Chain A
Amino acid sequence: ILNVEQSPQSLHVQEGDSTNFTCSFPSSNFYALHWYRWETAKSPEALFVMTLNGDEKKKGRISATLNTKEGYSYLYIKGSQPEDSATYLCAFISGGYNKLIFGAGTRLAVHP
Chain B
Amino acid sequence: DTGVSQDPRHKITKRGQNVTFRCDPISEHNRLYWYRQTLGQGPEFLTYFQNEAQLEKSRLLSDRFSAERPKGSFSTLEIQRTEQGDSAMYLCASSWGGSETGELFFGEGSRLTVL
Contact (A99, B45) CB under 8 Å given A32-B102, A34-B103, A43-B109: yes
The total of chain A residues at the interface (CB under 8 A) is 25
Which A residues are CB-close (under 8 A) to B35?
102
- Within 8 Å of chain A (Cβ to Cβ): is B62? no
**Cβ of B108 and Cβ of A42 under 8 Å apart?**
yes
Binary per-residue interface labels of chain A (61-101) against chain B in the complex, 1 for a CB within 8 Å, 0 otherwise: 00000000000000000000000000001010100001111
Asked if B56 contacts A45 (CB within 8 A), the reply is no
Give the CA-CA distance A46 to B4 in the complex, in Å: 14
B31 within 8 A of A: yes
Question: In the complex, which of the residues A6, A9, A45 contacts B106, with contact meaning CB atoms closer than 8 Å?
Answer: A45
A11 at the interface (CB under 8 A from B): no
Is A44 an interface residue, CB under 8 A from the partner? yes
CB neighbours (8 Å) of B97 from chain A are: 98
- Whether A89 pairs with B48 at a CB distance below 8 angstroms is no
Known: A99-B56, A101-B45, A102-B43. A41 touches B104 (CB 8 A): no
Given A41-B108, A43-B109, A98-B31, CB of A49 within 8 Å of CB of B102: yes
- A91: chain B residues at CB < 8 Å are 42-43
Whether the pair A34, B42 counts as a contact (CB closer than 8 A) is: no
Task: Given A43-B4, A98-B48, answer yes or no on A49-B106 (Cβ-Cβ < 8 Å).
Answer: no
Complex Cα spacing A76 to B30, Å: 33
Return chain A residues, CB-CB under 8 Å to B40. 9, 104
The reply on B107 being an interface residue by CB < 8 A is yes
Which residues, 1 to 52 on A, are CB-close (under 8 Å) to B? 4, 6, 9, 32, 34, 36, 41-46, 49, 51
A-B contact pairs, 20 of them (CB 8 A): A4-B42, A32-B102, A34-B102, A36-B106, A43-B91, A43-B107, A43-B108, A44-B104, A44-B106, A49-B103, A51-B100, A89-B42, A91-B42, A98-B48, A98-B50, A99-B45, A99-B48, A102-B42, A103-B42, A105-B42
Residues of chain B at the chain A interface (Cβ within 8 Å): 3-4, 31, 33, 35, 40-45, 48, 50, 55-56, 91, 97, 100-109
